[in-house]
């Protein structure tokens, strides 16, 4: 006999589902489908899209370069204060991005702790494309670190021991055994990181501003267009939605099964 | 190039030596510390004492600098590399050029009879093949010490026989000391010339397989050998063990062991007359089929196991709880100093 689902659970569940799905459905329904091709081909849109993809990709590369070793450190080396460091790494996940942007300004701004030293070297980060990359890395890298650390913890450490008995140094074992075995986790972390970087708004606009062609990424363009050209904002939103769905499809074997 | 190891790590506290070319099996029940011994020798755990190979201390060296070949229980072949690349891994780490390392690896695969499996990934190999690749991988680095953790435990009965024979051959060709740990007495006794019994982290007996099976010194060793074992004070061959007295024809005095096989024990429903001088009453605790014989466990002043024929069991009408008399001839007991 089939057991009944109690209305007290089913009701809120359906409302919750509607809350998540309706806005997206609305976006698709109200989209100005007619003439969407010409809107998408608008140089301003293409410029924002190009900038978004370039900066998100740069941020992901940086996150992999620094984040994978950081994840390895957290997963494999038992040092004092490891829990504290892990908490620090995850902080940007829960921190409002705009606070991250302010913090970045205080450190890398012209009068900032580090910026002060960079300026004489001719390096300026705020309000530049490099600044966008930095802001996105700050916000998105924790996603990668957490995913890769999980993958490394899940990978059997005894393979590294076997590699050591065969004469592999820790670095060689990491490169030739750990890294290939954790590759699916690293790839998933990288995709997640890229998606987060692509959607970054708060830290970017605070630290890098909103200059078309230089720091105006897709989310910033959407926000700006909403006041001047709502149809364009909807079109840009659709593009970001499409990207998100594609990412979900890419990761479906990992999380949506 | 002998191994001298003194290990004090976790519950393990042992000292032993293994000569060059010698294979020693460390045999013990689960949880005795066998894997700890192996890991400490490999450098994966601190040894807590000096370990030297050919007179040279190695206990301060990390595993990658010990030149120790290890065959792990579940082999731990790198799943993303082919059989050939797995075997070439060690030589590559030693700085051998890629082509040269691959040639060495191919030669080793050939030697373990897996030449045509060079391209296969570990997932495509059978248990026996994976075991041989693991052995080739361990030997391809040219190790000075070979360690094996339950080398045959993961195999099915048929490939076990075959691999055991092959392993014997490779072990006899290996010039350095080899140590294998196992909980399987058959593996220990067929692969090694010397067996160390490890119980609760201590070596309780050290000897050839024949010595251990004929002169067990612990309950565990006696169980392995399938013998009844008692320890007691002897005076001219008469041994007092607790409340029981065992007459042997050894003439020994002092602290001794007395062992005899279950087949030497005869069971009676009433006290037998005549020759056996060792007769004691008891109660049947268990009856189990054991090959074509029946193994009867008897509790009493001298707990004993006896092997009888199914016909004798039926004639005696034995069942758990039955009162019986057990008898052993002095000539069938074996006494030796403790």
Residue range B120-133: mean pLDDT, rounded: 93
Q: Is the pLDDT of residue B13 over 50?
A: yes
CB B148 within 8 A of CB B180: yes
At B276, the pLDDT band (50, 70, 90 cuts) reads low
Tokens of B289: 């089929």
Q: Is B197 helix (H, G, I), strand (E, B) or coil?
A: strand
Task: Provide the pLDDT for residue A256.
Answer: 43
For testing contact with chain B, the best of A151, A164, A165 (most B CBs within 10 A): A165
Whole-number pLDDT of residue B219:
87
What are the tokens at A121? 């070297």
CB atoms within 10 A of CB A105: 22
Q: Does A164 sit within 8 Å of B44, measured CB to CB?
A: yes
Q: What local confidence, expressed as pLDDT, does residue A254 receive?
A: 60
> For B193-230, what is each residue's pLDDT tens digit?
999 999 999 999 999 998 888 889 988 898 888 899 99
DSSP result, A178-217:
IHHHHHHHHHHHHHHHHHHHHT--HHHHHHH---TTTT--
pLDDT at B157: 82
pLDDT score for A257: 38
A175 in B contact zone (CB under 8 Å):
no
Pairwise CA distance, residues A200 & A53, whole Å = 12
Tabulate helix, strand, coil % of chain A (nearest 5): 80, 0, 20
**Does position B166 have pLDDT exceeding 70, yes or no?**
yes
Name the phi and psi angles at B112, rounded to 5: -95, 10
Nearest-CA neighbor of B85 among A91, A177, A225?
A177
What interface predicted TM-score (ipTM) does this complex get? 0.81
Kindly report the nearest CA distance between residue A158 and chain B, in angstroms.
7
The backbone torsions φ and ψ at residue B248, rounded to the nearest 5 degrees and listed phi first, read: -115, 165
Q: What is the pTM of this model?
A: 0.80
CB contact under 8 A, A168 and B137: no
Which residues in chain B have Cβ-Cβ distances shorter than 8 Å to A165?
Answer: 42-44, 63-64, 66, 68-70, 138
Beta strand B244-247 with B323-328 is: unpaired
Q: What is the pLDDT of residue B275?
A: 59
Q: Express each pLDDT in B66-117 by its tens digit.
A: 999 999 999 999 999 999 999 999 999 999 999 999 999 999 999 999 999 9
Q: Which residues of B touch A164 (CB under 8 A)?
A: 43-44, 62-64
- Asked: is A35-250 a CATH 1.10.630.10 domain? The reply is no
- The answer to whether the beta carbons of residues B334 and B258 sit under 8 Å apart is yes
Name B66's Cβ contacts closer than 8 Å, sequence gap at least 6.
Answer: A165, B42, B43, B58, B145
For residues B325 and B248, what is the distance between their CA atoms, to the nearest angstrom? Answer: 18
Q: Let me know: does B176 contact B140? Beta carbons within 8 Å.
A: no
Does A162 contact B79 at a Cβ distance shorter than 8 Å?
A: no
How much of chain B exceeds pLDDT 70, in percent?
99
Residue-level pLDDT, tens digit, chain A, 257 residues: 678 889 999 999 999 999 999 999 998 888 888 878 888 888 888 888 899 999 999 999 999 999 999 999 999 999 999 999 999 998 998 999 999 999 999 999 888 889 888 888 888 888 999 999 999 999 999 999 999 999 999 888 999 999 999 999 999 999 999 999 998 889 889 998 999 999 999 999 999 998 888 999 999 989 988 888 888 888 888 888 988 888 888 877 665 43
Predicted local confidence at residue B27, as pLDDT: 94
Main-chain dihedrals φ then ψ at residue B120, nearest 5 degrees? -70, 140
In 10 A of CB A39, how many CB atoms? 19
B96: tokens are 């051998």
C-beta atoms of B70 and A176 within 8 A: no
CA dist list (Å): A255 to A142, A199, A252, B45, B208? 18, 20, 6, 37, 56
8 Å CB contact of B80 and A168 = no
- Residue B42 burial class via C-beta count within 10 angstroms: exposed 0-12, middle 13-18, buried 19 and up: buried
Candidates A41, A98, A81; CA nearest to A235 is: A41
List Cβ neighbours of A102 (8 Å cut-off, separation of 6 or more).
A206
Query: What is the per-residue pLDDT for B118?
Result: 94
- pLDDT tier at B129 (50, 70, 90 boundaries)? very high
Which among B216, B209, B88 is positioned nearest to B141, based on CA atoms?
B88
pLDDT band at B297 (very low <50, low <70, confident <90, very high): very high
pLDDT for the residue B19: 95
pLDDT of residue B6: 94
Structure tokens, B218 = 């612990």
Q: Can you name the residues that pair with A49 across neighbouring β-strands?
A: none
Is there a contact between A165 and B62 if contact means CB atoms under 8 Å apart?
no
For residue B281, what are the contacts with CB-CB under 8 A and spacing of at least 6? B271, B300, B301, B323, B324, B325, B326
pLDDT of residue A1: 67
pLDDT, average across residues B273-302: 85
- Residues of chain A with C-beta less than 8 angstroms from the C-beta of B121: none
Q: Which domains, ranges and CATH numbers included, belong to chain B? A: 3-220 (3.40.50.300), 231-337 (2.40.50.100)
Determine contact, residues B29/B183, Cβ cutoff 8 Å. yes
The CB density around residue A257, as the number of other CB atoms within 10 Å, is 5
**CA gap A143, A145 in Å, rounded:** 6
Q: What angle do CA B12, B16, B17 make, to 5 degrees?
A: 150
Q: Which letter does DSSP use for residue B264 in this model?
A: G
CA distances from B235 to A45, B229, B333 (A): 105, 18, 15
CA A21: distance to chain centroid?
A: 22
Where do the domains of chain A lie?
35-250
Query: How far is the C-alpha of B106 from the C-alpha of B96, rounded, in Å?
Result: 14
First to last CA, chain B: 33
Distance (Å, rounded) from C-alpha B57 to C-alpha B47?
A: 12
């Amino acid at each position: 006999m089939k057991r009944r689902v109690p209305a007290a659970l089913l009701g809120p569940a359906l409302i919750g589902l509607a809350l998540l799905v309706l806005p997206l459905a609305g976006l698709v329904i109200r989209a100005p489908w007619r003439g969407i091709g010409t809107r998408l081909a608008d140089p301003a849109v293409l410029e924002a899209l190009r900038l978004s993809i370039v900066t998100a990709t740069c941020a992901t590369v940086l996150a992999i370069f620094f984040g994978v070793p950081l994840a390895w450190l957290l997963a494999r080396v038992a040092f004092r204060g490891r829990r504290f460091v892990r908490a620090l790494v995850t902080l940007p996940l829960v921190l409002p991005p705009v606070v991250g942007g302010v913090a970045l300004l205080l450190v890398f701004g012209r009068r900032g702790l580090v910026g002060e030293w960079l300026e004489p070297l001719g390096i300026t980060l705020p309000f530049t494309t490099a600044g966008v990359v930095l802001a996105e890395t700050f916000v998105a890298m924790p996603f990668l670190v957490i995913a890769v650390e999980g993958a490394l913890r899940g990978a059997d450490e005894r393979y590294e021991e076997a590699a050591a008995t065969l004469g592999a140094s820790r670095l060689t074992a990491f490169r030739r055994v750990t890294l290939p075995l954790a590759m699916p986790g690293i790839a998933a972390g990288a995709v997640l990181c890229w998606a987060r970087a692509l959607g970054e708004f708060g830290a970017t606009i605070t630290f890098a501003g909103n200059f078309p062609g230089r720091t105006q990424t897709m989310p910033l363009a959407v926000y700006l267009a909403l006041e001047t050209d709502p149809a364009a904002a909807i079109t840009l939103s659709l593009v970001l939605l499409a990207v998100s769905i594609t990412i979900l499809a890419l990761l479906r074997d990992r999380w949506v099964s | 190039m002998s191994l001298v190891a003194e290990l004090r790590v976790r519950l393990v506290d042992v000292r032993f030596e293994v000569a060059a070319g010698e294979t020693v099996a460390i045999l013990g029940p689960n949880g005795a510390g066998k894997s700890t011994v192996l890991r400490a020798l490999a450098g994966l755990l601190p040894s807590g004492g000096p370990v030297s190979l050919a007179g040279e201390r190695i206990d301060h060296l990390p595993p990658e600098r010990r030149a120790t070949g290890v065959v792990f229980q579940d082999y731990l072949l790198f799943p993303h590399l082919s059989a050939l690349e797995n075997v070439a891994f060690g030589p590559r780490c030693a700085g051998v050029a890629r082509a040269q390392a691959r040639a060495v690896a191919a030669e080793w695969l050939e030697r373990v009879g897996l030449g045509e499996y060079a391209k296969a990934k570990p997932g495509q190999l059978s248990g026996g093949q994976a075991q041989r690749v693991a052995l080739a991988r361990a030997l391809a680095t040219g190790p000075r010490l070979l360690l094996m953790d339950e080398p045959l435990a993961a195999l099915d009965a048929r490939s076990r026989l075959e691999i055991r024979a092959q392993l014997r051959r490779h072990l006899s060709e290996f010039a350095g000391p080899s140590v294998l740990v196992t909980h399987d007495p058959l593996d220990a006794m067929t692969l090694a010339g010397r067996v160390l019994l490890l119980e609760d982290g201590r070596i309780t007996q050290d000897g050839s397989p024949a010595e251990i099976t004929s002169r067990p010194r612990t309950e565990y060793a006696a169980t392995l050998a399938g013998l009844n074992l008692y320890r007691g004070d002897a005076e001219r061959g008469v041994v007092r063990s607790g409340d029981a007295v065992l007459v042997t024809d050894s003439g020994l005095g002092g602290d001794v062991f007395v062992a005899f096989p279950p087949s030497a024990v005869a069971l009676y429903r009433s006290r037998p007359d005549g020759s056996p001088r060792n007769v004691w009453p008891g109660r049947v605790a268990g009856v189990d089929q054991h090959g074509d014989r029946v193994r009867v466990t008897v509790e009493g002043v001298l707990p004993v196991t006896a092997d009888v024929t199914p016909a004798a069991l039926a004639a005696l009408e034995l069942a758990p709880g039955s009162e019986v008399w057990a008898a052993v001839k002095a000539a069938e007991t074996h006494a030796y100093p403790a």
